[in-house]
Structure formats: C-alpha cells, structure tokens
Structure 1
Amino acid sequence: MPAKDPLIEALKVCILNLKSEGRVTDSSPHLVSCCELLELILRKGLQQPVLSLAHRDYWQCFKQLIQHDTCGRLSSVSLAVQQTAACCKVITSQGRGRFFIRLMLMKRTLGNVVKHLLHTNRVIEWYCPNVAILRNEEFVEPFISLSMVLSEMEFKLNIENCSFLDESWLLPVCQIYEAVPCQELGMVLRYLNGRVFVLDLVKGSQAEADMFVEPGDIIDEINGISLRDSSNGQAGVVFSKLKGQPLSIRFIRWRAENGSIYQPLLKHLRQLKEENTSLQFGPKSMSHKTVGQKRGQTPCVKDGRILYAVQLLGKANIGMYGGKEVLQHTIPVVLQCKQDRKEVLLDIKETHLTCTDKTSQQNLCQHQFPEISCVGRFGNQPDLTIFAFCVLDTPETERPMGFCCVVLQAATSSECEEIVNRIAAGFKHTEWFV
C-alpha cells in the first residue's frame, strides 16, 4: 500500500470542496484552509542557512526562480514576483509569500511554478531530502497533480485586500468610500504599529453624517496611496495634498463578515478602548444599518449597502424658486392630488441619491447633491414621517423648468429625521463645489 502524507490528503479533500463551489472567491469557506495547506507543504523541510541570521521562507524560493531562469521561460512568474515585491501592503517574507500564492491562484499558474521549482536545482537543494514533500518521489507527483488542478480552477480574489497577510490568512472586510471634495472629513486618527486607526468622529462632520466609517476601522489607502507601515501624521499629510480633490478611501473594517471582531485586530482595539472608553466593540448594535429589522422586516441590501424602504407619495413642479420655504405649502398640495403611491428603495450615497421601484427594480430617479436645493419634514403631522426635497426639474428636453418637489414617507419619525439629515449633509458638503 503506497504511503500517504497527511498534508497531501488534506489538500486533496480541500480542493474537492472548492471545486464543488464553482468559482472560488474570498468568501469561499475552504479557501483559507487550501492556502494554509499549500503554505505548510512549501515550508515542510525548508532548511535555514547555516551562516546567516536571516530566516528563509518559501518566498525566497520563488524569488530565486527568476534569477536562475536562463531560458526566459518564466516571464509570467517574473512579472508576478515583481508585482509581489512592489506591493507595499505586505512587509514580511510570510506576507509576500502569501500574496504570491493568491496571485498564482488568480493567474492559474501555480502548477507551472511548482514544476519550475522542482527543476531548479539550486533552489530545490534548500529542502531536506528526508523531510520535504518536494524532495519525496512518492509525494511530489500527487502534489504536482493537485497544483495543476488548482491551476484549472477559477479564483476571483480581491488581490488588493492584502494588508493583513503578514499576520493571518483570514482576510478582513475591505470597502471603498468615494468622497466628494470637502473641507474636512472629520475623523480623529490614531497610529498603532504602522496602521492608521479611526479613533473617533467629529460631531457634525461629514464622516458622522454619512456614517461611512466607525471608530476602530483602519484607513488602508487614499487615492491609491497605501498607508501600511505609516509613520505618525502620514495620513494627514496625504489628506492635505489631496485637499479639494475627490477622494477614494479604502477602509479595513474592524467587524468581520459575521459581525464579530476581526481577530487580528483584537489587541489593537483593546488599546483604542483604553484611550477612548466610550468605544464599544461588541456584537453589531441596532442602528441605521438595521433599520429594516427595527420594523420587523428583512433589511434591503444592495452591494453591501442598507437601503431605506419608503413610499413615494408624488411630485410637483414648483416654479423657479426652490428654497426651503416652499416645502410647507407644496407638500400638502402634493398630498391632496393623491397620486399613486409607490414602494421605493432610497439609497443615499456619498455623492448622490437614487430612488428605485421596490417591485420592478426600475431606477425612478437619480440626483446629485448639488442639484438639490432644500430638504425637510412636514411639520404639521404628529409623527413627522413625511419629508420632501426640491431638485432642479429637467425633463427630456434637458432644459431646466424650475424646481420639482419630491414627497416621500418613511416608516418611522426617527428614520425620517435620519434621512433628512443625511441628504442635508450631502448637499451641504458639496454646495461650495457647484
């Protein structure tokens, strides 16, 4: 009976599970196990240099491949090695090795890389013949076969989400926020171990109004500029240079996919809590993001965003003046017309808002914040759930015909107030840019 290596057998089972899922993404439950097993196999039997204090990892093996390639066969590998070496979000050999493995899975070239590794004598000699799977004739063939199977599979991975590969194969939730030009965002920052944490939000700021970030989140990059391994004040310098320009900010969330704390951040969050005792890093609390659950409904989610389920009561042209004073007499006029109500989803984004028919998913309207002249609630009702905003009325002729008042109704007065505040904050922060 042929000998079996437990790592090879575990990898075989893991690959079968991955294949059953079809296309593999970062959310695939067996991806982390597969990568961990590949790493263990590539490390097994790797000998450390005798006369050097530097630790050798499998990343050094991959780097050596292109140095010993005399026939130019490894052009794709060479580009991947260069891309990995140039990535400033990973700073250790372990992080670079993990980045390279993910890159090879994405490019479907892992099998070829393993073959070249086995045929590069100066590199394969780093492995102990009696221990390494890569030097064992019984185990190396199954490993090559499994590597080729992985190369035939489709991996759709977010290669930019790599800032925690130095510490863990488990990736955090990573999201991008697009901000319009404004004077300041209103975030209090704290630098810990080369990372830029959000310690608090300034009251009344755009950050608090848009609710795009929570204390404990990390600013990973700004407009493509990585803040990994940052020195104190570096984020402020970047923000200052980009003042008045649109911003694209990549955040790493302290919450994991399941809503719990992302474990590699645990010790940092404890330190933040010592500095700001009001911070809470427990289970996800009831907030605007769970507004559907407050009403006993399933939240409306689109691309990771929570949408407001409201009713569109109607709209009317109000002439050439769109100031807030018109709302109190225009809203009753629209209500008296008794136009057909529609169940809609209101998505208040960073630069604009959209209104979508809840049933047909048809996009009813989209308005940039600079187009909105005012927003407010109807103050003569006890529950204050009806609100409206005025927007430049441009029909199919694309010639402005004054302003249009759009009237909607929220489920609760608190939700209505929240929506009005978010819309108001949106055009407040963009009106100077018009």
Structure 2
Amino acid sequence: MSVSDPLIKDIKGCILAFLEEIRINHCINDSNSVLLLFCQSLEKILNLGLIPVYNTFGFCKYIDPWVWLEKITHERNANLSYSYVHCVGNTKLCRNVITNVGKLRLLIRLCLIHRCLHIPIEYLKNYKKLNVVYKENSIIGDEILCEIFLSVLRQCAKINFKLNANNSSFLDLSWSIPELVKLEYVPCDTLGVTVSFAGEKAIIMSIQPNSVASESV
C-alpha cells in the first residue's frame, strides 16, 4: 500500500485549517467550515478495512467501529485514559442516538472535546491488535499509514474543540446537524407553531405571525 492516502491528506489539511483558526479565535466550534469534512473523513477511515467477525455457526456478524471502540473499555489492563472511558460511557447513556453509526459520531465529537481521540488507536498499536481489527491493506491496518494517522489524531489533543455535546439528535442520520437554540417563552395557551413529525424528529413547518413563538424569530 502507498504511504499516501487521500483520506489522510484530507484530515491533515483539516488539522492545518484548525491550527490557523485557533490563532484567531482560540477554539474550534460547530460553525467551523472544515469540521464536517474532518469528521466525515475520520468516520470513513474507522470503517475502512474492518475484519469481519463470525459467530459459532459460521455466519458473518455485522461489524462497525463502535463495536470495538466500546469493547476495549472492558479489556483488563488496557490502561485507557479516564477521559476516553468517560466519553464511551456518556455515549452509551445518550438517548438521542440509537444506531451504532450515531453512537460512533457522538463518540468522535466527545473525544474531540475531551482531547482523547488518539487513545483507541494507540491501544490497538501498543497491544499489537491493529490486524486483529483491521485488514493490512487499510489505513489503520497498515503500520506506516497508521503511524501517520495517529500523529494527526495526536495533533487534535492540542486543539481546543468547543462543540455542543448536547446537539446530537440528528447524528443517526447525518453529520450535518442543525444549530441548537434554547428559547424561553411566557406561559400561554398557544405558541403559534405548526409541527410535523418525521420518524421521531419534530420539524417546525410554520410559525403564525404575531404569535408568542414569532417573538423569537
């Protein structure tokens, strides 16, 4: 495998953009223009080249990154940082995410906030489990590419990510999460809001003019 990969180049470029941003604003928040690309590229790398797991009957069980990222917190003598274990625990407790995809995305965001995104990859490398979880022709399964990837993740630990950890309701569906706004209204019989439901998500369809809700628009 080449020691270069487009996904590695993408996340390297994002890190450089983050470093430029913190020189001005001192932190990275949800409005950052390259945060979406970084998270999408990271998710692709974590999904790339996973080794299938088979049950006792020889059937392939579905495997995804969340499975091993959560599983290693139960390993004895793993010496994982408290920050990482705490992030996994909070992800499991969150009711906003149901699927493993959503849990993975929330975990990534929490690990960025708590500066521990590199911890699980370091664990695989230090305990020689890279090729237990990933194929050799993948980024994480390749020794050289994994070291490059790990060096990028370590850079994340030096960056102050101020992301809204409570904004997680749409992570099962997309990385493109809406802005979260908290509003307080005076007691009333009618807000003046028309709401439609798509699955378990409530979507505001319209706001009546001169209603209580319209005061905040």
Normalized against structure 1, the TM-score is what? 0.45
* Cα deviation, residue 155, structure 1: 0.9
Amino acid at match of 2:28: V
**Taking structure 1 as reference, are residues 148 and 180 closer, same or farther at Cα in structure 2, changes over 3 Å only?**
same
Q: Where do 1:7-406 residues align within 5 Å?
A: 7-22=7-22, 23-51=27-55, 55-70=62-77, 73-120=80-127, 125-129=132-136, 131-201=137-207, 205-208=211-214, 210-212=215-217
Contact preservation (8 Å) 2:84, 2:119: no
Determine which structure has the larger helix proportion and give its number: 2
Per-residue Cα deviation, 1:258-279 (whole angstroms, up to 9, x for no partner):
xxxxxxxxxxxxxxxxxxxxxx
Structure 1 residue runs of 4+, over 6 Å off? none
One-letter amino acid of the counterpart of residue 7, structure 1: L
Q: Letter of the aligned partner of 2:171 in structure 1?
A: L
Paired with 1:65 and 1:170, the residues of 2 have a C-alpha distance of: 28
Q: CA deviation at 1:123?
A: 7.5
Q: Which amino acid aligns with 2:14?
A: C
**RMSD over aligned Cα, in angstroms?**
2.3
Paired residues, number:
209
Higher RCO structure, 1 or 2 (CA under 8 Å, sep 6+)? 2
- Separation of aligned partners in 2, 1:180 and 1:70: 54
Task: Tell me the equivalent position of 1:279.
Answer: none
Contiguous gaps of at least 5 residues in structure 1: 213-434
Quote how far apart the aligned CAs of 1:188 are.
3.3
- Note if contact 2:54-2:61 (Cα within 8 Å) is conserved in structure 1: no
Query: How far off is 1:78 after superposition?
Result: 1.6
Give CA-to-partner distance per residue, 1:75-119, whole Å, 9 cap, x none. Answer: 322211110111111111111101111111111111223201334
- Structure 1 residues 308-361: Cα deviation after superposition (integer angstroms, max 9, x where no partner): xxxxxxxxxxxxxxxxxxxxxxxxxxxxxxxxxxxxxxxxxxxxxxxxxxxxxx
Larger strand fraction of residues: 1
Rounded Cα–Cα distance in structure 2 between residues aligned with 1:137 and 1:53: 26
- What is the identity percentage for the equivalent residue pairs of Structure 1 and Structure 2? 30
SS at match of 1:179: coil
- Give the counterpart letter for 1:43 in structure 2: N
The one-letter amino acid paired with 1:67 is H
Residues of 2 paired with 1:107 and 1:124: CA distance?
27
Contact 1:80 1:100 in 2 (8 A): yes
Assess, with a 3 A threshold, how the Cα gap between structure 1 residues 6 and 205 changes in structure 2: closer, same or farther.
Answer: closer
SS in 2 for 1:198: strand
Structure 1 residues 31, 202: CA separation in 2 closer, same or farther (over 3 Å shift)?
A: closer
Question: SS of 1:56's equivalent?
Answer: coil
Question: CA separation in 1, counterparts of 2:148 and 2:207?
Answer: 54
Unaligned residue ranges in structure 2 (runs of 5+): none
Cα drift, residue 74 of structure 1: 3.5
Which one-letter code corresponds to 1:5 in the other structure?
D
AA aligned to 1:194 is E
Give the 3 Å change call, closer, same or farther, for CA 69–147 of structure 1 in structure 2. farther
Query: In the aligned structure 2, how far is the partner of 1:179 from the partner of 1:91?
Result: 30
SS at match of 2:175: coil
* 1:15-64 deviation digits (Å, cap 9, x = unpaired): 11221111211111111111111111111101233345653211111101
C-alpha distance after superposition, 1:172-193 (max 9, x if no partner):
1221111233334233332221
1:375-394 deviations in Å (ceiling 9; x for gaps): xxxxxxxxxxxxxxxxxxxx
What amino acid maps onto 2:163 in structure 1?
L
Compared CA separation, residues 28 and 199, structure 1 to 2 (3 A): closer
Q: Secondary structure at the match of 1:189?
A: strand
1:118–1:124 contact (8 Å) kept in structure 2: no
